Structure 1
Amino acid sequence: MKTVFVFFFLCVSHEVIGLKAMYKGFNTLSIEPIDYGVGKNYFHVGIRKSIICKGGDKNDKVEWVDPSGSVVPRVAANRVFVQEHFVPSYKARIPAAVLVFSHLSVEDSGVWQCRTDRKTKDVSLCVLDPVEFVDTPNEVTVDLGRSITLTCQARGEPEPRLVWYRNGELIVDSSTKFMISTKYNSQGFEGLLTIRSLEREDSGIYGCEAIQASPHDDECTTSSSINITLNINYAPIFTNGNDTSVVFVKDNENVELVCLVDAFPEPTYKWYKELGDVLSELSQSEIHVDEDKTKSHVSFNANESLFGQRFRCRATNQYGTVEKVFAIQRLEEPDAPTEVNINNLTHNSLQLAIIWEEEAFYQVGGAEILYMKAEMVKKKASLDWRRAKSVQLSLDEFDSIESEIGGALITLPSLDADTTYWVRVRATNEAGWSAWSAPIKAVTDTEPEVEDTPQEVPVSIRSPTHDSEARFYGLLFAGGVLVVAFGSMFVVRLV
């Protein structure tokens, strides 16, 4: 009996150990991770590469299957072959298969499979011949108004697809401005970007991106870019206009005259002081030019002799010359507005049109509005502005500058609807405040009517008692009809 028990125990133990080994082997088929290198997602064509797949049991037969489904042969003379390998393990040697590429090809991209009788495991491989840009200029210069075709030539495998960007934005083929095309020559694909009727705004950085995508694996893609700087030749232009600039300055303050220019090639600057019809050139030591050559400026201390003087900035390159005049005037307290009118109104705001005489508006740096309800005043002569509310606005808070009328539009907000107000305005700058304008009376509009919201008609809900009563009377009525009908038939028969 004891012998039978021992035999039974040994058999069960053997089966358990066998099951454990089989379970362990079934779950431990492994492939070494693919390491393309830092910042890369592909292998370069031509290199030698091997990938180890390790089985989980000493009895496993490990083999590799290529992306087409064929078993890779163990023929060392082939470009792609499998080597048998064993990995040392506890009390046994675990079989493994080494997939060897003597030199990688783009066609090797795809999903490779390692398998045993009980287990399979996939690994994706990406192999590319990365893009190389050839005969592609990094900088192109052309005259304003001309057309230009930028070229970008890329070679690689798989054949790249080319797209264009301008200052980081994708360029869409346009019949009016841009035309994109591609041609193939001995060097590879050549992308062409034609830009018609060049304007100053067309200058900038144009990027050519070459995108490669393997037909064997959707995840096997990469891209490479090259930038082309497009310079457009044009004469200097003042970015803030060529009109004479009147510069107001207080006594004994420093004043800086700034000449802002857009040009290519970069311009040279000269400054002159106007002495009647004669120009007296300032020395170069008095002229300051920024590093990017887009701004030149000179500085003076404002005194009595400087007020009324005019200076001229001249910017020149090989395509032209421009000049701008600066007139220096003493900054004084602004004049009072000559007119204040209502330009527009709503139920809660008034837009004022404020006008000054001739060039007095040039010295305005802001405004203050005083306003109060007319109901607080019995007569115009008794206006007490100490009870008024105030709104102060800087020049950049004005609705708009109306240079043709020598004034500005300013909105007075947060008013009551259908209300009459007294309003007056004064101007300000760094030198002080002007006198007040003559007061005007203004009335806001009535508040717009709010449309009534349609009310839902309530749905009556009858109680069960009402339903029962309705059914009762309905049956009673139907019964009465039947009685009358049968009675009529009976009478007819008798007749």
Structure 2
Amino acid sequence: MKWFIYVIVLVYMFYRAVYGAEGNALEIIPISYPDGLNYLPSGSRLTITCKLNNRNQKVEWLDPEKEVVTHNTTNRVYSHRRIAPSSAKTSPFLLTFTRAVVDDSGVYTCQSEREKKEISLCVLDAARFVDTPREEFVDKGRSFTLSCRVRGDPQPVLIWSKNQRELYDDKLTSKYKIFEKFNHDGYESLLTVTSVTPEDSGSYTCTAVQENVLVDDCSLVDSINITLQVNYAPEFEGGSDTSMIFANYNDTVNMDCSVSAFPKPTYKWFHDVGDSTLFQYPSKQIKLLEDETIARLTLVADSLSFGQKFTCKAANDLGESHKDFVLVKLGRPEAPVEVYVAKALQSELIFNFTFNEESSPFDIIQAQLKFSGDPDRRPRETEWRRGSRTVDLEVLEDNAGLYKLPKLEAETKYWVRFRTKNDHGYSPWSDPHSVSTRADEEPTSTEEVAEETTTEEVAKAEEEIGEEDSLSDGTFYGIFFAGGIFVLAFVCMFVMRMV
């Protein structure tokens, strides 16, 4: 009989060892936040469920401070056990928040006699922008302050940006000033833009960043855009200097008048008929394009319009601006009046040209080059015809003012001259220039070309000044030495005559 009891106990212990651990496993149901949020809004009700497959074991909930959450249902946060049917295999243990607050955030623990499981709770009082205007207006030259006011818990950090570039309190240029304060409406950040220009117009973003330090990955980011409109009088891009419009006889010519201004300007076109008299074109003859930012006057180029002056006037409440256009008959282009070597490389040269403002536009620019036997002697015209080649220059895409002469030999001297071409023919050749390529290869970035050009110009100027100084010093000492010899010879001759 005794052995029979031992066998029963052994079988029971073996059953508990094999099946008991699996049957007593804890499981916490993941938190499902409302409306697809990744946090629980402050003031919400929430119940967290912990399951255990053994109805007889004791289960407790611990708060983030590892204190046991009591079963007192009158508390704002309490634990309790849901009564399940006797046939149910699991027994749920619940942790209920009747009205969650931000300080409830943290890691909660469900523990039984054998194990424990943890779950993180994130509670936020989401930031809300209050009394923050979406659009502001300011006149050019004045300073203006943008206000961003927000409520929320934890206290948000407010960040200003424009065009995805964060703005700081700029102590060097004093362009931006940022000041923060508390008031009865919440936390406020003030961004002052000083001496506003049209470039300061645009959308400014105030971003509120909330982070609950009690829980990892418990944060919220929200933002609001504030548009700043700078009021200013019309301004022509590139200035108000007279523009030359080139056309062929009987061509239809579009004269486009475009300014930057706010508010939008009104446009008027005039024709100078002489004696300071202007003829105003009717509005139906003026076409507004691209959201009324361009006023186009269409004419036919003929003997009555060539050489005539046309004036566009743009005006708004802050002022008026005008620009003159002269219609010029298109003819053969002119050669460049000045040629600069912007950069010399191993297999190419990069040039910059200056043209006469009244020269007709051209389609291509060509270079004629030949090897330089004597860089001090310009080739004769017959030599250009016999031993030279003509190449079309390439326009650098990132800067239309620079042209590239490719496929040259390294460390070689050339004579080169230039001409332009359009539908009316070629220009004459420019004066020849002596140029040379380098021995080593260097990159051809346009920014590097511009930077090196400036550096070379400065270095050349300094070298010229140094040469002038050196020449002046040498001349001075030479004259001093010759004068000394002359005085010494005169003294020797005087002594010899005395003797």
TM more than 0.5: yes
1:97-246, aligned counterparts within 5 Å?
Answer: 97-175=93-171, 176-246=174-244
SS of equivalent residue, structure 1 residue 259: strand
Q: Which runs of 5+ in 1 are unaligned?
A: 402-408, 450-495
Aligned to 1:424: 417
- The superposition leaves residues 418-452 of structure 1 with CA deviations (integer Å, 9 ceiling, x where unpaired) of 645443322112433224446x4736368479xxx
Aligned to 2:473: none
Q: Tell me the distance in 2 between the aligned counterparts of 1:115 and 1:347.
A: 77
Determine if the alignment matches structure 1 residue 95 to structure 2 residue 91: yes
Amino acid at match of 1:227: N
SS of equivalent residue, structure 1 residue 363: coil
Determine if the alignment matches structure 1 residue 368 to structure 2 residue 361: no
- The superposition leaves residues 63-112 of structure 1 with CA deviations (integer Å, 9 ceiling, x where unpaired) of 211111111111111111112125669x6532221111111111111111
- The answer to whether the 8 Å contact 2:396/2:404 transfers is no
Change (3 A) 1:347 1:217: closer
Q: Tell me the distance in 2 between the aligned counterparts of 1:142 and 1:291.
A: 25
Q: Normalising by structure 1, report the TM-score.
A: 0.78
Q: Tell me the distance in 1 between the aligned counterparts of 2:354 and 2:157.
A: 62
Amino acid at match of 1:141: F
- Percent identical: 37
Q: Tell me the distance in 2 between the aligned counterparts of 1:183 and 1:399.
A: 48
Aligned to 1:390: 390
- The answer to whether the 8 Å contact 1:418/1:443 transfers is no
Change (3 A) 1:362 1:223: same
Amino acid at match of 1:44: P
Aligned to 2:457: none
Count of paired positions: 434
Q: Tell me the distance in 2 between the aligned counterparts of 1:132 and 1:397.
A: 48
1:11-410, aligned counterparts within 5 Å?
Answer: 13-25=11-23, 28-85=25-82, 93-175=89-171, 176-276=174-274, 277-336=276-335, 359-373=357-371, 380=380, 382-383=382-383, 385=385, 388-393=388-393
SS of equivalent residue, structure 1 residue 21: helix
Change (3 A) 1:60 1:21: farther
Q: Which has the larger radius of gyration?
A: 1
- The superposition leaves residues 225-252 of structure 1 with CA deviations (integer Å, 9 ceiling, x where unpaired) of 1111111111111123211110112233
Q: Tell me the distance in 1 between the aligned counterparts of 2:240 and 2:270.
A: 16
Change (3 A) 1:157 1:419: closer
Q: Tell me the distance in 1 between the aligned counterparts of 2:46 and 2:423.
A: 77
- The answer to whether the 8 Å contact 2:336/2:419 transfers is yes
SS of equivalent residue, structure 1 residue 47: coil
- The answer to whether the 8 Å contact 1:208/1:225 transfers is yes
TM-superposed CA distance for 1:7, in Å, is: 8.3
- The answer to whether the 8 Å contact 2:179/2:191 transfers is yes
Question: Cα RMSD between the aligned structures?
Answer: 3.3
- The superposition leaves residues 360-383 of structure 1 with CA deviations (integer Å, 9 ceiling, x where unpaired) of 5343343111223357xxx84643
Aligned to 2:448: none
SS of equivalent residue, structure 2 residue 82: strand
Q: Which runs of 5+ in 2 are unaligned?
A: 374-378, 442-499
SS of equivalent residue, structure 2 residue 359: helix
SS of equivalent residue, structure 1 residue 361: coil
- The answer to whether the 8 Å contact 2:394/2:404 transfers is no
Aligned to 2:488: none
SS of equivalent residue, structure 1 residue 35: coil
Amino acid at match of 2:425: G
- The answer to whether the 8 Å contact 2:332/2:360 transfers is no
Amino acid at match of 1:299: T
TM-superposed CA distance for 1:291, in Å, is: 4.8
- The superposition leaves residues 155-212 of structure 1 with CA deviations (integer Å, 9 ceiling, x where unpaired) of 1222222221123221111231222111111111111112222222222111112222
SS of equivalent residue, structure 1 residue 93: coil
- The answer to whether the 8 Å contact 1:64/1:113 transfers is yes
Q: Tell me the distance in 1 between the aligned counterparts of 2:123 and 2:425.
A: 76
178-187 or 421-430, which deviates more: 421-430
Amino acid at match of 1:242: S
SS of equivalent residue, structure 1 residue 174: coil
- The answer to whether the 8 Å contact 2:344/2:438 transfers is no
